[in-house]
Amino acid sequence: MRVKNNKITSDVWAGMTIAAGATYDLQATELSIWQANDKVISDLSSGDLLVGDGVTYQTAGALAVNYLLGTGTKDVNVQLQPAFASKKVGTKSLFIRATGQVFAVSVGANTLDFSIPFNVMKFNGLQIVNGELGETISLKVLDTPTGLISGVPNYMLNQFGFNVNLPSGIFVRESQYDADIYKDMVVRIELNALTARDFRVNYSLHEVK
């Protein structure tokens, strides 16, 4: 599926800047973001943004919106992606962007936020290198400060860990099912710490580009 900027100036949709008259190919990992974006829907309705298959574009507002949502006269082709071990996601590639963070924590409840640095990423695990036996963590993913996904700033989109017990030393958690995350979304660890110290976390991230 391809979108086209039908304006005489560049503009930004769903975090993507598109020059005047230029096109952009939507990937399966991005489609839900574009479908839920109010500006995308509004500009498709007005004709400032067009959508089509790269050869023809829907120019009537209602048909354009239906086409994006998959309810129009043409089908939206969302391909089943191969196993995450594959380096390819549609026409794009995966690049490892493992990132470490150090948080100064105090005894008791701590909120440790990590902001996603790239436009489109996959997240499938984390490593904690200095946990203490008896501590617990919860893991959440929050929307961006502008509410890119939900329309509500910093809204909790999902929770992947619930009071998980840490061992002493190294704790590693990886999932077979990667999560799609986008720039400025937040991976939040809620830690119940037994001692004040530097708390070190490595995030398993993969940029899609």
Interval 187-209 mean pLDDT:
93
Question: Residue 199 — very low, low, confident or very high, per pLDDT cuts 50/70/90?
Answer: very high
The answer to pTM > 0.75 is: no
Has residue 76 got a pLDDT over 60?
no
The tens digit of pLDDT for each residue in 129-172 reads: 889 999 999 999 999 999 888 889 999 998 888 999 999 988 98
Give the chain's domains with CATH numbers.
Answer: 2-69 (no CATH), 92-208 (2.60.120.730)
Which long-range contacts does 75-81 make (Cβ < 8 Å, 24+ apart)? Answer: 76/1, 76/31, 77/1, 78/28, 78/31, 79/28, 81/28, 81/29
Which long-range contacts does 63-72 make (Cβ < 8 Å, 24+ apart)? Answer: 65/41, 68/1, 68/34, 68/35, 68/40, 68/41, 68/44, 69/35
Question: Residue 88 — very low, low, confident or very high, per pLDDT cuts 50/70/90?
Answer: low
Cα dihedral 21, 27, 28, 32 sign: negative
